[in-house]
């Protein structure tokens, strides 16, 4: 079966900073795959390379067997992307925001209204679709952004820190909608997060990324079981413990550079 996404030695530098240092990754069709790591690990840069927003060399990124360097437009048509920074317009209603994306994606006029309704329904926003987005809670805004991405019926949906800054109830709701959409459509989902507990609960497989490289990859249960075996002391390690072992530090101590933390905090503040 064709992989939804293959990265083969993906590298990307900003000047002297090697943000992604040779990433090898395969995401199977239909899975929810988590790219995990602290601020500054290179997750967003890797995602931007896949979306074709950052240029890559031929052979480094393939989406459903289309090369991101050689077949950029075909790759873009297969993708949905919800960036970490907010992308909904507060002065438009929920429905207007999704309609705007339907026009941007060039969905034929006669299908547009139905596709917008489907997308709003998929994220549970039908009843509030005529309210201004400015009145939405942080969790509702995240779900609205999910609807914006879903309206084009992408085959690979990429979400950058979809639950950052949300309260636990809103986080659960965002994840449940992601799972429901996957179940209904068979869509593949690639999600970045630094919340290990969420990844453990909702992702089929995860890759733990640190300083531009993947340090461990597998189903969360497999990774923790392997560590339990290595330790052999009967303790029940978490994914956070696996990360600590492969990266030499926990996520909290890691911290990231000032600009990475500032960006995360800005997103969290605007949603909170
Ligand atoms: N536009 C940029 N210019 C210069 N350096 C950058 C830029 N974007 C990212 N970097 C650097 O590249 C590295 C990887 O950053 P990236 O944003 O990909 O990490 P991340 O894992 O997504 O973190 P976050 O959780 O903060 O989004 C960091 O060292 C970061 O400072």
Tokens at 267, concatenated: 């997103």
Q: What is residue 2's predicted lDDT score, i.e. its pLDDT?
A: 85
**Could you tell which of 17, 47, 265 is best to mutate to test the pocket of ligand 1, judged by most ligand atoms within 8 Å of the CB?**
17
Of 216, 218, 220, 217, residue with least CA distance to 200: 220
Mean pLDDT of the chain: 90
Instruction: Give residue 44 CA to ligand 1 midpoint distance, Å.
Output: 7
d(CA 20, ligand 1 centre) in Å = 9
Confidence of residue 270 (pLDDT cuts 50, 70, 90): low
Q: What is the pLDDT of residue 127?
A: 97
14 ligand 1 Cβ < 6 A = yes
207-261 pLDDT, tens digit each: 999 989 999 999 999 999 999 998 888 888 999 999 988 887 666 554 455 455 4
Domain boundaries, the chain: 5-271
The pLDDT value recorded for residue 142 is 92
Mutational pocket test of ligand 1: of 21, 37, 42, the residue with most ligand atoms within 8 Å of the beta carbon: 42
The Cα-based distances of 219 to 35, 200, 206, 222, 269 in angstroms read 12, 8, 6, 5, 32
Question: Residue 232's pLDDT is what?
Answer: 87
Share of the chain above pLDDT 90, in %: 72
CATH, range 5-271: 3.40.50.300
pLDDT of residue 253: 54
DSSP the chain: ---SEEEEEEEEEETTEEEEEEEEEEE-TT-EEEEE--TTSSHHHHHHHHTTSS---TTSEEETTEETTT-HHHHHHHEEEE-SS--S-TTSBHHHHHHHHHHHTT--HHHHHHHHHHHHHHTT-GGGTTSBGGGS-HHHHHHHHHHHHHTT--SEEEEESTTTT--HHHHHHHHHHHHHHHHHH--EEEEEES-HHHHHHH-SEEEEEETTEEEEEE-HHHHHHHHHHHH-SS----HHHHHHHHHSS-HHHH---HHHHHHHHHHHHHH-
Examine the pLDDT at 35 and tell me if it is beyond 90.
yes
Percent of the chain at pLDDT above 70?
91
- The string of pLDDT tens digits covering residues 51-89 is 999 999 999 999 999 999 999 999 999 999 998 888 899
What ligand 1 atom has the least distance to the C-alpha of 84? Answer: 27
pLDDT tens readout for residues 79-107: 999 988 888 999 999 999 999 999 988 89
Residue 38: the pLDDT is 84
Residues 151/107, Cβ–Cβ less than 8 Å: yes
Q: Looking at residue 166, what is its pLDDT?
A: 87
Which pLDDT belongs to residue 258? Answer: 45
User: From atom 5 of ligand 1, which residue's Cα is the shortest distance away?
Assistant: 14
**32 C-alpha to center of ligand 1: Å?**
23
Judge if the beta carbon of residue 42 lies within 6 A of ligand 1. Answer: yes
- What integer pLDDT is reported at residue 266 of this predicted model? 63
Check whether 154 has a pLDDT greater than 70: yes
ipTM over 0.90: yes
């Amino acid at each position: 079966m064709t992989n939804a996404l293959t990265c083969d030695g993906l590298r990307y530098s900003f000047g002297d900073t090697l943000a992604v240092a040779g990433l090898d990754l395969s995401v199977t069709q239909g899975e929810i795959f988590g790219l995990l790591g602290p601020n500054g690990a290179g997750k967003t840069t890797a995602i931007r390379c896949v979306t074709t927003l950052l240029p890559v060399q031929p052979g480094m990124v393939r989406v459903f067997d289309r090369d991101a360097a050689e077949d950029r437009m075909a790759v873009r048509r297969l993708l949905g992307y919800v960036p970490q920074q907010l992308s909904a317009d507060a002065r438009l209603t929920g429905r207007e925001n999704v309609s705007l994306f339907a026009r941007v994606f060039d969905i034929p006029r006669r299908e547009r209204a139905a596709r917008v309704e489907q997308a709003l329904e998929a994220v549970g926003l039908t009843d509030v679709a005529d309210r201004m987005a400015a009145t939405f809670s942080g969790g509702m805004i995240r779900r609205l952004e999910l609807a914006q991405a879903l309206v084009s019926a992408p085959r690979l949906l990429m979400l950058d820190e979809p639950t950052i800054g949300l309260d636990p109830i809103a986080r659960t709701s965002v994840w449940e909608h992601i799972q429901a959409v996957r179940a209904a459509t068979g869509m593949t989902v690639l999600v970045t997060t630094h919340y290990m507990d969420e990844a453990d609960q909702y992702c089929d497989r995860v890759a733990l990324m640190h300083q531009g490289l993947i340090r461990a990859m597998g189903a969360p249960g497999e990774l923790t079981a392997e560590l339990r075996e290595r330790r052999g002391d009967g303790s029940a390690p978490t994914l956070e413990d696996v990360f600590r072992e492969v990266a030499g530090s926990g996520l909290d101590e890691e911290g990231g550079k000032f600009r990475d933390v500032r960006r995360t905090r800005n997103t969290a503040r605007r949603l909170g």
